[in-house]
A and B are shown apart, each in its own frame.
Chain A
Amino acid sequence: MTKVTMTVNGKSVSAEVEGRTLLSAFLREGLALTGTHIGCDTTQCGACTVHVDGKAVKSCAVFALDVDGADVRTIEGMANADGSLSVIQQAFQDHHGLQCGFCTPGMVMASAALLADNPKPTEAEVRHHLEGNICRCTGYHNIVKAVLAASGQDVPAVAAE
């Protein structure tokens, strides 16, 4: 076991972990931050997406020890300081960008990373950016709409309510 220390959602945490402990397991089992979900074992579905030093990564394909000292943000750290939903979370609710909710944390984290880099993405850019996040419920329509809306853009007429 080796000690690992990182900042998670603004709080410093440390624990003894095995070499094989994945960041996803560290968050879910070690810190009980179960909003980060496990939907596959081949690094494809994106449900486990979190931010490491501001970059979106799949926490199921990163060893906890490899991000020693990093600043990690999970879905539990995405709300506003007063606990209300952030702009992007609110856009997902307003535009029905989720159904079963399982892929949703990953979708929100991936979308937030996109908007941080590209505040006014096109529809095509949103779709391309989300290619590492699989949703089985929504057909993606309302997810794309929610991300465009969260960026402050008019949602295309075709996607209007």
Chain B
Amino acid sequence: MPKDTGIGASSKRREDVRFLSGKGLYTQDIALAGQTYAVMVRSNVAHGKIKSINTANAAAMPGVLAVFTGEDFKDVGGNPAGWLINSRDGTPMREPKRPVLAHGKVRHVGDAYAAIVAETYNQAKDAAQQLADDTEIEELPAIIDMKAAVANPANRVHDEIPDNLCFDWGWIEDNRAAVDAAFKSAPHVTTLELVNNRLVPNAMEPRASIGEYNPGTGDYKLTTTSQNPHLTRLLVAAFVLGIPENKLTVVAPDVGGGFGSKIYHYGEEALVLAAAKKLGRPVRWIAERSESFLSDAHGRDHVTKIELASTKDGEILAIRTETLANVGAYLSNFSTATPTFLHGTLMAGPYKVPHVYVNVKTVFTNTAPVDAYRGAGRPEATFSIERVVDKMCRELGLDPFEVRRKNLLTPDQFPYTTPVGLVYDTGNYQATLDKAVELGDVAGFEARRAASAAKGKLRGMGLSTWIEACGIAPSHLVGVLGSRVGLFDAATVRVNATGNISVMTGAHSHGQGHETVFAQIVADKLGIDESAVDIVHGDTSKIPFGMGSYGSRSLAVCGSAMNKAVDKIIAKGKKIAAHMLEAAEGDIVFEAGKFSVAGTDKAKTFGEIAFSAYVPHNYPLETLEPGLEETAFYDPANFTYPAGAYICEVEVDPETGKVDIASFTCADDFGNVMNPMIVEGQVHGGVGQGIGQALLENTVYDENGQILTASFMDYAMPRADDVPFYTVDHSCATPCTHNPLGVKGCGEAGAIGSPPAVVNAVIDALHRGGHTHVTHIDMPVSPARVWAAING
């Protein structure tokens, strides 16, 4: 029976009421007295030497209050990379400074080298144009193509970095010889070269930041579009501007989606703070969408060769990959982790693979920085594996479903140590595959194919069985792997005297529905009404600490911290109850909102205990502090491993190459599910983005480094009529073994598992239509590409 409240209930989202009434408060909606407007001056060339900037004319224009250039920030810190990756030879990665404003050189179209602050937006815009006119930039050859960047050491994005390589990473280097040997003796080797297309995250709310400074106290406040305000505070305060952390409050109010792009600290955040201090007035910067395309961290952008060694009947023996991963012009905060430890460690997929070796060369180019975007490294791994497995099936004439069954890990093999450094704690991959086959009506495919054929359409079916590592992340492990931060999370549960509760969480909600789900969990555990629990997030002045929301971590990590804090509340409540009920603490049981003496009818309600904690008249003051508020930090023991099986059916119009998604079926294992409605919504959204990557979205730079897809006019976002209703299921649950809620995370699954299912389906359709010469089409599988493949 579905529950109607608490854990497992599809509680309606409380945050919806303000969003549906126009009462959400996003950064762009905030207007402050005396506010000023910042406009960034951005490079229109991909690579150039800044010869001179004459600020005088711009500074003298009406309303202009300040002009900043790279010179103003040359003595403050740079925006750092969060992970130190070592190359195969043991040398550390090359790590160029990423300044607040470009200094000396501009390195991508959109690289900000100056900023104007003025009384009005239009005045700032006018002066920005003047400043651009008064700037002399000597254009240098643009380094765009990754292969050319590595092959041509004379052209350098950063003068101090020869060959434009950030690092050359091998995972696991010690296994390489055994992997090579396995390939030498393999009965069959399948090789696939592919591109994982570069994407722009395009959260619908463009980035925005407002800086404030209080000259009386020396306190700064940054209101910004962030997925993790504490991390932003740490970066901007400690690393960039040198502000004491305790003098900076970072607030992320309602945030209109992130998908990774709002994890990172960006130069505009430092700029508005520095400008606010200089002017003594609030300074606001709101990105135009075109600026988002130019300056948000992009995602994916891998060029990969993957090889798969197998027996003739499809048993996987080894996997070997070589990848060029684009990091763009500067290292964004997670950019070095994404193509390595979020990618290489997943390269065994959900399969029994004895030997795996991954090589990633990460390359600087004159393009916008590239970093984690929904899925982050795991979609790239999944796409490579699931495409090459599918290609192997075709080469050997094997059924893709049977080959997966043959190779999937079985439930008795957990915990399973992969050859790429992870320990999968639990799963049942056969169950999700069976469920997808059932829900996707694989048995009925032939009839649907025939019906499509009667309309002149080619129908195909594609499968993807995938795994991800989520719940990021165990600090001890990521520390060994190069992370410069811990990846725990924290929560404070504050029980007020009247029994209602405020929960301060380090996780930030920007669409995930934490305000509802976290309240469900706390209310359920305490046996009180959900409406008595409020979730507070996104304000460093209110929250103990937190590493934010990304990597499908909010519930698994912050939820576990919250759970732990609630347990502390209950433990303290038992002490209070024991005193009030004149019983031994060990005899107190807490159930359904009541503390009672086991085996008696003596009891105190949760509300009575809370009241007593704040009005401690009858209270063990000599051994127990008054008050009822507990904070817990939680550091996970392992990653979590959501997994699933996705089946996509497509119809291809052979005359135009247009691909329509006919159906999409997901069978996921997310462990325990707290709110099915929200979990399903997360899968829908992820699959929508995955279909976008597979069929529509692409970021294209020309050879001069001009971005050709810099607006929604050329960057194809999925629309309502590009996608179908999805069939989603999460009933095949194997609870996570190492966190108290048994949860695995669901935010990224859809984006990880879906792209190969779509592309496999297109290839299947073409083969069934007789176009057997087509072995691969790079994403996005656009009509023009499909038509060219058919006619190629």
Contacts and interface: CB of A to CB of B under 8 A. Distances in A.
B16 A102 contact: no
Nearest to A79: B21
A54 interface: no
Contacts of B719: 127, 130-131, 134, 140
Nearest to A34: B29
Interface in B1-58: 10, 12-13, 15-26, 28-29, 31
B681 A101 contact: no
Contacts of B681: 96, 99, 137-138, 141-142
A158 interface: yes
B294 to A, nearest CB: 12
A17 interface: no
Give the interface centre of A78, A79, A128, A134 by most chain B CB atoms within 10 Å. A134
A92 B20 CA distance: 8
Contacts of A156: 725
A104 B18 CA distance: 11
Nearest to B513: A99
A89 to B, nearest CB: 4
B136 interface: no
B653 interface: no
Interface in A23-68: 28-29, 32-42, 44-45, 47
B450 interface: no
A143 B720 contact: yes
Given A139-B684, A139-B689, A93 B16 contact: yes
Interface residues on B, range: 35 or more
B527 interface: no
B685 A137 contact: yes
Interface string A90-111: 0011101011111111001000
Given A139-B687, A139-B726, A39 B205 contact: yes
Given A127-B720, A136-B259, A140-B723, A101 B16 contact: yes
B712 A136 contact: no
Nearest to A74: B22
B23 A35 contact: yes
A47 B718 CA distance: 15
B204 A45 contact: yes
A37 B206 CA distance: 10
Contact of B17 (A20, A28, A85): A85
B26 A37 contact: yes
A101 B21 contact: no
B531 to A, nearest CB: 15
A45 B15 CA distance: 22
Contact of B712 (A44, A92, A93): A44
B256 A101 contact: yes
Nearest to B21: A79
B298 to A, nearest CB: 15
A42 B684 contact: no
Interface in B283-330: 286, 288-290
Contacts of A96: 12-13, 677-678, 680-681
B28 A37 contact: yes
A41 B204 contact: no
A40 B711 contact: yes
Given A42-B289, A44-B711, A161 B256 contact: no
Contact of A138 (B16, B18, B688): B688
Interface string B621-660: 0000000000000000000000000000000000000000
Give the interface centre of A40, A100, A130, A143 by most chain B CB atoms within 10 Å. A100
Contacts of A145: 725
Interface string A64-84: 000000000011101100000
Interface string A1-39: 000000000000000000010000000110011111111
Given A40-B289, A137-B511, A139-B688, A89 B20 contact: yes
A90 to B, nearest CB: 8
Contact of B720 (A40, A100, A140): A140
Interface in B254-284: 254-257, 259
A20 B126 CA distance: 14
A118 B748 CA distance: 36
A137 B677 contact: no
Contacts of B691: 139
B686 interface: yes
Q: Per DSSP, are chain A's interface residues mostly helix, strand or loop, or mixed?
A: loop
B750 interface: yes
Contacts of A128: 720-721
Given A76-B21, A139-B689, A93 B12 contact: yes
Nearest to A145: B725
Contacts of A40: 289, 711-712
A101 B24 contact: yes
B512 interface: yes
A32 B31 contact: yes
B750 A139 contact: yes
Nearest to B754: A139
B725 A100 contact: no
A78 B22 CA distance: 9
A35 B22 contact: yes
B725 A99 contact: no
B12 to A, nearest CB: 5
Contacts of B750: 139
A96 B675 CA distance: 12
A75 to B, nearest CB: 4
Contacts of A39: 204-206, 256, 289
B745 to A, nearest CB: 16
A93 B513 CA distance: 12
B581 interface: no
B715 to A, nearest CB: 10
A151 interface: no
Nearest to A18: B122
A17 B683 CA distance: 45
A135 interface: yes
Contact of A100 (B257, B686, B712, B718): B257
Interface string B506-525: 00001111000000000000
A72 B272 CA distance: 35
B510 A100 contact: yes
B204 A136 contact: yes
A15 B713 CA distance: 34
A119 B727 CA distance: 26
Nearest to A86: B20
Contacts of A103: 204, 256
Contacts of B21: 35, 75-76, 78-79, 85, 89
Contacts of A135: 204, 720
Contacts of B122: 20
A116 to B, nearest CB: 18
B777 interface: no
B23 to A, nearest CB: 7
Contacts of B17: 85, 93
A3 to B, nearest CB: 20
Contact of B684 (A38, A108, A130, A142): A142
A123 to B, nearest CB: 8
Given A44-B713, A141-B725, A101 B511 contact: yes
B28 A38 contact: yes
Interface in B199-246: 201-206
A142 B723 CA distance: 12
B717 interface: yes
10 contacts: A28-B29, A41-B711, A75-B21, A100-B255, A102-B24, A102-B26, A102-B205, A105-B19, A123-B725, A124-B721
Given A33-B22, A78-B21, 6 more contacts: A42-B712, A98-B16, A130-B720, A135-B204, A135-B720, A139-B689
8 nearest A-B pairs in the assembled complex, by CB-CB distance:
A35-B22, A139-B688, A102-B256, A101-B19, A100-B511, A99-B511, A34-B29, A75-B22
Interface of B: 10, 12-13, 15-26, 28-29, 31, 122, 201-206, 254-257, 259, 286, 288-290, 510-513, 677-678, 680-681, 684-689, 691, 711-713, 717-721, 723, 725-727, 750
